[in-house]
Structure 1
Amino acid sequence: MKTPAPPSRSLSDLRELTPARVGLGRAGASMPTEALLAFTLDHARARDAVHGAFDTSRLVEGLASLGLAPVLLSSQVRSRRDYLRRPDLGRMLDPASQRALADRSGGPCQLAIVVGDGLSPAAVNVHAIELVRNLVRRLKEAGIQLSGTAVASGARVALGDEIGALFGAQMVLMLIGERPGLSAPDSLGAYLTFAPRIGLTDAMRNCVSNIHGAGLSYDEAAFKIAWLVREGLARQITGVALKDESGGTPARIGTG
């Protein structure tokens, strides 16, 4: 008996499964006008995401509404032009921010959260507050103390190391806008570092990425982040030594 042939698949079927640009067709030696215009639009959206304004006042207000008391900080970057040309400046706090953290009251904490603009302020403006809202509930359920929170402008991922160290945090979570892609200009990334201090490399961090409307949901991301925080604190590690073994589907928790 012959094995039935698998059903044939077309390029249109493939396009329904991925936002990647496949099977665009052609017009002579070029791509069709519709595909070219769509590419140009997505490219413009990605550029706009990089150069968009960072809504610090809304973020501070949103974090405060969750019972947090964020400190407003800034890196040594003075313009978006500097940010793109001098990544090193985005990894260091300016003197005023260093003094603000040094003068704050409060002792060491288990976890500090830093919300930074990164390469897509648009992603942070849209997603950061709702992610933190879901994460706070997960952390509370796990009995994890969260007392240090900051909103940082001109931030690169490593800026969280200095901020976490000045907070006296055992671990720092940096929420930051990821490099915009042509299919996802508003993707948020979450970077976790145990024992933060200046000079660490990315090998010492865990990352939960692709948090946006068509990617990882807020609850899924919060579930993974909370698992990594709990396990990282228990084992006193993050980075290549800590693998995400959270697995499964996030359990629902109360909203009270």
Structure 2
Amino acid sequence: MANDIPPDTLPDPWHSLTQFTPARIALGHAGMSLPTRACLEFQLAHALARDAVNIPLDFISLAHKISALGHQILTLPTQAENQAMYLQRPDLGRVLSRAAIGSLQPYSDIKTDVVITVVDGLSSKAIEQHAVAFLEGLLPELQSQDYKLAPICLVKHGRVAIGDAIAEHFAARLCIVLIGERPGLSSPDSMGIYFTYQAKAGISTDANRNCISNIHLNGLSYQQALAKVLFLIQEAEKLQLSGVNLKDSTTDAVLNNLQNAQTNFLLD
């Protein structure tokens, strides 16, 4: 009889949901503990997340790849001199070093419309895997609209707000920051994009920015992220602002046309 079946042999009703999410559900159990496989998978995910934070980004390789797209590159350090200082002192990752300020001086007379800053952030893996692929779509779009671009700035040990000082230096209306997001146990390579209109160092806050997050192969696609960025640029130019007063309405109007064949059962 069905009632005589031991509880640990009954099918887990949650197991079928694992096809829709990388979240840790329906892991099973071995007595009062997790099964060995689940424990090992957790340890691997934790190790990948730690590596994403601690393994340095290869800025030389990244600069070569972006230069191959036909754009000038500037590599700018922050006042966080090493990884330990960067993790312990977030404020130093928001301020350019003296060397970086010196590197920007020859461009003092250059006025631009857009500055794009690529920052290692908390996941070097995210920038290594996704930044160039996203720029391959973004740069032609900006050029087709006759935007004047500043040199693409690569920032080591940087935080989101580092883009403000760079945008202010170039007197750029539009500031776009690509940054490695804090890694999770299911997404150690997630890239975020922050967009600010008329960014100013020490003045712009998170309320002035729009964030597009979770860009990776199992998250938001490059095409979806690009559609959001272009929408924000268009609306920011109209309203002359960004942040909490600029609402992203691309979800229904645009992104549904870019969805893959797979659908999310939670949205059905």
Q: Distance in 1 between matches of 2:154 and 2:78?
A: 11
Q: Does 1:182 align with 2:185?
A: yes
Q: Distance in 2 between matches of 1:237 and 1:125?
A: 31
What residue in structure 2 maps to residue 152 of structure 1? 155
1:219: how far off? 1.5
Among 220, 223, 237, the residue aligned to 2:224: 220
Q: Distance in 2 between matches of 1:240 and 1:165?
A: 21
What amino acid is the match of 2:254?
Answer: G
What amino acid is the match of 1:185?
Answer: P
- TM-score of the pair, normalised by structure 1: 0.90
Give 3-state SS (helix, strand or coil) of 2:213's partner.
strand
Stretches of structure 2 lacking an aligned partner (at least 5 in a row): 1-11, 259-268
Q: Distance in 2 between matches of 1:184 and 1:121?
A: 13
Q: Does 1:239 align with 2:240?
A: no
What residue in structure 2 maps to residue 57 of structure 1? 60
Q: Distance in 1 between matches of 2:24 and 2:109?
A: 51
Q: Distance in 2 between matches of 1:157 and 1:10?
A: 42
What amino acid is the match of 1:194?
Answer: Y
Q: Distance in 1 between matches of 2:217 and 2:67?
A: 24
1:152: how far off? 0.5
Judge conservation of contact 1:49–1:186 (CA < 8 Å) in 2. Answer: yes
Among 82, 86, 103, the residue aligned to 2:85: 82
Change (3 A) 1:106 1:251: farther
Judge conservation of contact 1:116–1:155 (CA < 8 Å) in 2. Answer: yes
Q: CA RMSD in A?
A: 1.7
Q: Distance in 2 between matches of 1:146 and 1:28?
A: 60
Q: Distance in 1 between matches of 2:75 and 2:104?
A: 10
Give 3-state SS (helix, strand or coil) of 1:224's partner.
helix
1:59: how far off? 1.6
Q: Distance in 2 between matches of 1:63 and 1:44?
A: 29
Q: Distance in 2 between matches of 1:149 and 1:169?
A: 12
Among 231, 248, 252, the residue aligned to 2:254: 248
Q: Distance in 2 between matches of 1:57 and 1:181?
A: 26
Q: Distance in 1 between matches of 2:206 and 2:151?
A: 22
Judge conservation of contact 1:138–1:222 (CA < 8 Å) in 2. Answer: no
Judge conservation of contact 2:173–2:198 (CA < 8 Å) in 1. Answer: yes
1:106: how far off? 5.0
Give 3-state SS (helix, strand or coil) of 1:21's partner.
coil
Give 3-state SS (helix, strand or coil) of 2:113's partner.
strand
Q: Does 1:38 align with 2:41?
A: yes
Q: Distance in 2 between matches of 1:58 and 1:244?
A: 34
Give 3-state SS (helix, strand or coil) of 2:120's partner.
strand
Q: In the comparison of the two structures, how many residue pairs are matched?
A: 244
Judge conservation of contact 1:123–1:188 (CA < 8 Å) in 2. Answer: yes
What residue in structure 2 maps to residue 97 of structure 1? 100
- TM-score of the pair, normalised by structure 2: 0.87
Q: Distance in 2 between matches of 1:132 and 1:250?
A: 22
Judge conservation of contact 2:173–2:197 (CA < 8 Å) in 1. Answer: yes
Stretches of structure 1 lacking an aligned partner (at least 5 in a row): 1-8
- Percentage of identical aligned residues: 41
Superposed structure 1 runs of 4+ greater than 4 Å apart: none
Judge conservation of contact 2:210–2:243 (CA < 8 Å) in 1. Answer: yes
Q: Distance in 1 between matches of 2:257 and 2:78?
A: 38
1:105: how far off? 5.8
1:61: how far off? 1.3
What amino acid is the match of 1:240?
Answer: V
Q: Does 1:171 align with 2:177?
A: no
